[in-house]
Each structure stands twice: as C-alpha cells, then as structure tokens.
C-alpha cells in the first residue's frame, strides 16, 4: 500500500496540466459545498473551504491538481482500496505525501464544520479522533459513528423534500441549513442545536420509493439515449432523471456503467 501511495503521489506532483480544485470538481455536491462559505458568512463566520480527497489528501479548495480518478467507495472502479482498513492506510500515506494540513491542525483555534460520507469518515477516523481532542467546536454532518468531542448530525433523507437536490448532496445541504440556525456566532451552541432539531423534526418526511429495477443493458440504453439528446449532461443529473422516472439503480452501479458507456461513445 505504501509503495502504491508513494508512486501515486509522485505522479500527481509531476502531472500537467493542473486546475484549481474549484474548477476540477463538478456536480451537485460540489456546487452546494462552494455555497457553504456564503452560508457561513451570513451566519457571522469567516470560513475557508477544504477538500478531503482520496487522491490528494486534505487540500484547500484553491489548491491546484491534475485531473484524476480516485475514491474510497469500495465498489467503485476507481476505488483506492478494497477494505476500510486499506482506505485508512491510504489516507495516512496521502497525508504524508500531498496533504496540506491535518484536521487537528485546522481545528486549533477555529471551529470546524465537516461533511463526510460513511466511507470517507471511516478512512479519516484517526484524524477525526485527533481533532476531537483539540477542544474546539467540531460539527460533523454524515459520518459513520459517534465520536466523543465531535457533535454529529446523521444524514436524514426525510429532509430532501424540503432541502431539494440529490442524496449525494444532502449532507452539505443540511450543513448549510444548520448555519441558518446559528446564534451568537457559535457553531454548536445549545440554542443552535435546539433550533435545528425543532426545525428538522417539523420538516422531515420519510421517503417512499416504488421504483422499477433495471438491468445493466437497460441502464446503458438510458445513458446512451440521454447523452445523445443532452450533450454534456452530468452523471449526477442522469441518475436523477432515471430515478425521477420511477426507475431504480444503485449509485455506484450507475457510476460504473456510466464510465463504461461514455468511454465507448
């Protein structure tokens, strides 16, 4: 694992051309993530946006990098590891090679708001535990388990009707909504938490899906048809169209079929 990570870091550092991460990342999740700084400013915070990347480690969004494909999602074609333990090892080697800071360093003297999926939170578990020991305000949306010293807000799919967007961007939309409830420039005060919980309890509605399963051939046919009629349409938008049409396809499966199909077009 370490040899692979060292080789990866060398290739990333030598590759060209490069783009800022703001330019490199696309999709609903990152559109909403960039808006988090605006939401934080309205709440009275001065915020910097950082990226937790399976290919680059922890980076400010202003950093530059080449185009790459890497993820901690174990069932994805571009997965960097096949187990949670392997992902954690990979993250540690990335941080040693290309990471600009650790969560613990970011947490010294400043509140930290994080939006992490289960697989990313598991890969970064050691840093989350170290951050919890700093003693500053720490708020996590998503994640995988409770950590003493970190206030966690689990994903709530029932809020999607109110917040909109895809499930991929739900945690970041929840984070933006939380910032609207912040009082006295405090990220995790009891007043803020109570205000959020009252609002969320009133807005959350269980989602009910009766979507029709699809074969791989049917999904591929759908991707081809939509890509032909809407050139440049994103993968996220395609999956949303498929599901809005009452059909079902798991996200990582759709991603693999999308990559295979668009590579053949």
Confidence at 206, pLDDT banded by 50, 70, 90: confident
In this structure, what token pair is assigned to residue 180?
Answer: 């609207």
* pLDDT tens digits for range 50-96: 999 999 999 999 999 999 989 898 777 788 998 999 999 999 999 99
Q: What is the pLDDT of residue 208?
A: 65
Please report, rounded to a whole number, the percentage of residues in the chain having pLDDT higher than 70: 98
What residues form DSSP beta bridges with 186?
183
Task: Measure the CA–CA gap between 204 and 157, rounded to whole angstroms.
Answer: 8
Q: What is the pLDDT of residue 148?
A: 96
Q: Which residue has the tokens 């945690």?
A: 171
Taking each helix axis from N to C end, the angle separating 170-179 and 190-203, rounded to the nearest 10 degrees, works out to: 130
Confidence at 144, pLDDT banded by 50, 70, 90: very high
Q: 75 and 117 in contact (C-beta within 8 Å)?
A: no
Task: Measure the CA–CA gap between 197 and 39, rounded to whole angstroms.
Answer: 19
Query: Where does the chain show beta strands of DSSP type E?
Result: 19-20, 50-53, 57-60, 64-65, 112-116, 138-142, 151-153, 212-213, 247-248
């Amino acid at each position: 694992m370490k040899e692979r990570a060292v080789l990866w870091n060398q290739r990333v550092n030598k590759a060209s051309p490069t783009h800022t991460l703001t330019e490199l990342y696309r999709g609903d999740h990152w559109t909403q993530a960039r808006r988090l700084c605006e939401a934080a400013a309205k709440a009275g915070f001065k915020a910097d946006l950082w990226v937790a990347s399976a290919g680059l480690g922890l980076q400010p969004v202003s950093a530059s990098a080449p185009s790459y494909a890497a993820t901690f999602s174990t069932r994805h074609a571009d997965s960097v590891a096949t187990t949670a333990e392997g992902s954690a090892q990979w993250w540690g080697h990335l941080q040693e090679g290309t990471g600009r800071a650790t969560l613990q360093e970011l947490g010294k003297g400043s509140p930290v708001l994080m939006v992490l999926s289960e697989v990313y939170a598991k890969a970064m578990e050691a840093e989350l535990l170290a951050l919890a020991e700093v003693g500053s305000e720490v708020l996590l949306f998503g994640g995988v388990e409770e950590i003493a010293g970190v206030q966690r807000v689990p994903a709530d799919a029932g809020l999607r009707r109110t917040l909109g967007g895809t499930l991929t961007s739900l945690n970041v939309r929840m984070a933006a909504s939380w910032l609207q409830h912040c009082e006295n420039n405090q990220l995790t005060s009891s007043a803020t938490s109570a205000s959020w919980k009252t609002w969320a309890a009133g807005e959350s509605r269980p989602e009910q899906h009766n979507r029709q399963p699809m074969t791989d051939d049917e999904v591929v046919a759908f991707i081809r048809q939509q890509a032909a009629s809407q050139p440049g349409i994103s993968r996220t938008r395609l999956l949303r169209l498929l599901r809005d049409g009452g059909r079902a396809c798991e996200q990582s499966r759709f991603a693999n079929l999308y990559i295979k199909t668009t590579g053949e077009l």
